[in-house]
Structure 1
Amino acid sequence: MAKRDYYEILGVDSNVGDSDLKKAYRKQAMKYHPDRNPGDTDAEASFKEVNEAYEILKDPQKRSAYDQYGHAAFEQGGAGGGAGFGGMGGGFSDIFEDLFGDFMGGQPGGGRSGGGRGSDLRYNLEISLEEAFNGKQMEIKIPTTVECESCDGSGAEAGSVPVTCNTCQGHGKVRAQQGFFTIERTCPSCQGQGKIIENACKSCRGEGRTSKEKTLSVNIPAGVDDGNRIRLSGEGEAGMRGGPSGDLYIFLSVKDHRIFQRDGQNIHCRVPIPVSVAALGGDIEVPTLDGARAKVAITAGTQSGRKFRLRSKGMPIMNSHSHGDMYIHTIVETPVNLTKRQKELLREFESEGKGAHSPESEGFFSRVKDFLADLKD
């Protein structure tokens, strides 16, 4: 079954601000919370749906990807599966934290014990149609954060180590009773890390990571199309204090070509042909995306717009050894700058034929004649 629109799930429009988005989320989460709907499987499913929608829309990067590509931006290990742009993560304890963290002095969306996971990154890469056809190994440069070399990602100055947080005893979370709820929230002392840094590293100021431009090698497979994405696991921002790195998502776009037009895995090419070849027939050569030339046999009497098919001369089909097809669209070119003799020959041809060589014109004007006769009746 097709997934519902995230904005529809939360009851907001696509222009909603962060504050109103959060209010709508809290309202829906309270409405469908399992403790308020014991044994109601539909309410539980709606509760998970609300959580998933908010996890995507509250993050500007994820929201931008969703607005542009919809659910397709998170397929193959996306939002519903705990990967993609950070995934769902968190379980019900994060919902408690988002709903009630403000009342307890905590921060919504806090982390767990240990280093926090780094953010996922997006990189937009434009390639040519030839590169999409052949595939290519490319190098890209991205500004990101990497593990601090001075402290090996610990965040502590050399010679010192982080100590266990006394508030949460190293768990990164604290619990409190709120009516009939037991609320678990991020520890306010260590911000969910479970440890306190008493002597912070001067290079990274205790974060365990520093800013750096990184060069990466990317393999562009043959046959990619607009909107395809490539995931480089662990190549996003470094995590806080030794936490796991995020992922890098490369979104591809293919530039328009000056000769060929792409339609899925098929290639189209408009080719002008002389009127003599169109009338008498003959062979023409056309370029193909692999850099070669293909011979096309033009049959006598070819009109503008006729298509000729070249099998397996289109785009490679990803994850297979097959190719799409190439279609040649003929454009019969009217001769210009004729000499006096050429004009005389054309007039002789016209007088000899008396319309017999132009069946489409004859048919059209015959229909016009019938149409005008019907108007007089």
Structure 2
Amino acid sequence: MARDYYGILGVEQGAGPDEIKRAYRRLARELHPDVNPAPESQERFREVSTAYEVLSDPEKKRIVDLGGDPLDSRGGGGGGGDPFAGFGGFGDIMDAFFGSAGGGRGRGPRSRVQPGADALIRMQLTLQECSTGVQRDLTVDTAVLCSECSGSGCAPGTHPTACDTCGGQGEIQSVQRSFLGQVVTARPCPTCRGFGEVIPDPCRQCAGDGRVRSRRSVGVRIPAGVAEGMRVRLAGQGEVGAGGGPAGDLYVEVEESPHEIFSRDGADLHCTLPLPMTAAALGATLPLTLLDGTVEELDIEAGTQHGTVRTLRGKGMPRLRSTGRVDGQGDLMVHVEVATPTKLDREQTELLRQLAQLRGEEQPDLVGGSRNGHGLFSRLRDWGHR
């Protein structure tokens, strides 16, 4: 006698696919071994799974409606078969529990319109340009929308047509038997590449891509305070996507050229001031040309030592905040290097000897003391305080 597959699922004879699927979902959630490990529940789950396998197959369901049993030819399947038999792999199992959103089937063709990629261009700036900011026009070579087809990829007056190979689904499915039952696999259609449609008469200008390469000019404003490696983003100025999709962004990356006088540490600047020995001893006022071209009077105090650092507040680079706004100025650090003369004429040598005699430094004693009881290092230390 044929099994009552409709009765196993608890539905009326001749129930439709949606009603059968809803009944199976309800029973599967109740009887699944992960939820109900009782032996009788597992046996019942096998029967329910087998019934769903039969009634979800149109050909097998037709045999049941005629009063037959489609499983008789293979020795029955309701008693000891695989509880997951009849599912097309994991995707079908998820589809049975949660609907088409849970499985991998029913995805349909993918869109021909794809978002475009970002583009990157590097701009070399001097230290002064990084300090003041610049406005420039850049020449970029990117993909732009095809003017002939406006991104459709079709020749004027033509349209895409449904793919004959996949029937517009964008994928080809194949069914294989495995220990899990029927395994359904899907792959992109080789004819339409998964789009579900083909372009019979491609645009001559873009060859059906919907975009072409073009060189164009783009204006960019670089804010004051930028540094090496920073990027300025120009939204929508990158590569146009395939099929006329939205363009990506264009990033302008800063490359900072070295300066012959100033070096940079964030917003602070550093420079070296070579100072003659006499100016360091006597003191002086020196003109210092800043990065912006203005001249700052720098006072050197008498007795300035080698390695002294003079800080000029607010004379460095603009501080660039994350929002692109300038927030104050950095400092300028002037590093003093006292230069000892290496070539002296006779008169200069004699004057230095007289100075050494006056200061008691003509013969420094490296080990012991001198006549006044002070060694070399004591006298050098005291010399700075005279």
SS of 1:321's partner is strand
The 5 A counterparts of 1:1-377 are 112-165=110-163, 186-318=188-320, 319-335=325-341, 337-355=343-361, 365-366=376-377
Could you tell me how far apart the structure 1 residues matched to 2:186 and 2:208 are? 26
Contact map agreement 1:114 1:194 (CA 8 A) in 2 = no
The total of aligned residue pairs comes to 257
Could you tell me how far apart the structure 2 residues matched to 1:184 and 1:219 are? 50
SS of 1:308's partner is strand
Q: 1:349 Cα deviation (Å)?
A: 1.0
- Read off the aligned partner of 1:271 and give its amino acid letter: L
Could you state the TM-score of these two structures normalised by the residue count of structure 1?
A: 0.60
Change (3 A) 1:271 1:354: same
Q: 1:164 Cα deviation (Å)?
A: 4.4
Q: 1:119 Cα deviation (Å)?
A: 2.2
- Read off the aligned partner of 1:139 and give its amino acid letter: D
Q: 1:241 Cα deviation (Å)?
A: 1.5
In terms of fraction of residues, the more helix-rich structure is 1
Match of 2:106 in 1: none
Contact map agreement 1:260 1:268 (CA 8 A) in 2 = yes
Change (3 A) 1:294 1:183: farther
Match of 1:30 in 2: none
Change (3 A) 1:139 1:177: farther
Match of 1:27 in 2: none
Contact map agreement 1:112 1:173 (CA 8 A) in 2 = no
Q: 1:248 Cα deviation (Å)?
A: 1.7
Map Cα deviations across residues 111-140 of structure 1 (whole Å, 9 max, x no partner).
941412222222122211111100001222
Match of 1:72 in 2: none
Could you tell me how far apart the structure 1 residues matched to 2:157 and 2:117 are? 29
Contact map agreement 1:113 1:171 (CA 8 A) in 2 = no
Could you tell me how far apart the structure 2 residues matched to 1:364 and 1:320 are? 54
- Read off the aligned partner of 2:254 and give its amino acid letter: L
Unpaired runs of at least 5, structure 1: 1-37, 39-92, 94-110, 368-377
Q: 1:365 Cα deviation (Å)?
A: 4.9
SS of 1:123's partner is strand
Change (3 A) 1:247 1:169: farther
Map Cα deviations across residues 338-377 of structure 1 (whole Å, 9 max, x no partner).
4433332222111111239x9x99999549xxxxxxxxxx
Q: 1:177 Cα deviation (Å)?
A: 7.9
Match of 1:34 in 2: none
Map Cα deviations across residues 77-129 of structure 1 (whole Å, 9 max, x no partner).
xxxxxxxxxxxxxxxx9xxxxxxxxxxxxxxxxx9414122222221222111
Could you tell me how far apart the structure 2 residues matched to 1:247 and 1:194 are? 29
Could you tell me how far apart the structure 2 residues matched to 1:310 and 1:292 are? 14
Contact map agreement 2:133 2:225 (CA 8 A) in 1 = yes
- Read off the aligned partner of 2:332 and give its amino acid letter: M
Change (3 A) 1:171 1:144: farther
Change (3 A) 1:310 1:187: farther
Change (3 A) 1:248 1:173: farther
Q: 1:313 Cα deviation (Å)?
A: 0.7
Could you tell me how far apart the structure 1 residues matched to 2:287 and 2:340 are? 20
Map Cα deviations across residues 33-78 of structure 1 (whole Å, 9 max, x no partner).
xxxxx9xxxxxxxxxxxxxxxxxxxxxxxxxxxxxxxxxxxxxxxx
Q: CA RMSD in A?
A: 3.3
Could you tell me how far apart the structure 1 residues matched to 2:375 and 2:114 are? 74
Please, which moves more after superposition, 193-202 or 160-169?
Answer: 160-169
Contact map agreement 1:266 1:324 (CA 8 A) in 2 = yes
Map Cα deviations across residues 223-250 of structure 1 (whole Å, 9 max, x no partner).
1111111222222221111111122222
SS of 1:201's partner is coil
Could you tell me how far apart the structure 2 residues matched to 1:293 and 1:171 are? 74
Change (3 A) 1:249 1:282: same
Q: 1:183 Cα deviation (Å)?
A: 6.9
Contact map agreement 2:224 2:326 (CA 8 A) in 1 = no
Map Cα deviations across residues 185-232 of structure 1 (whole Å, 9 max, x no partner).
655443344542111011111111111112211111111111111222
Could you tell me how far apart the structure 2 residues matched to 1:183 and 1:120 are? 34
Q: 1:157 Cα deviation (Å)?
A: 0.6
Identity percentage of aligned residues: 38
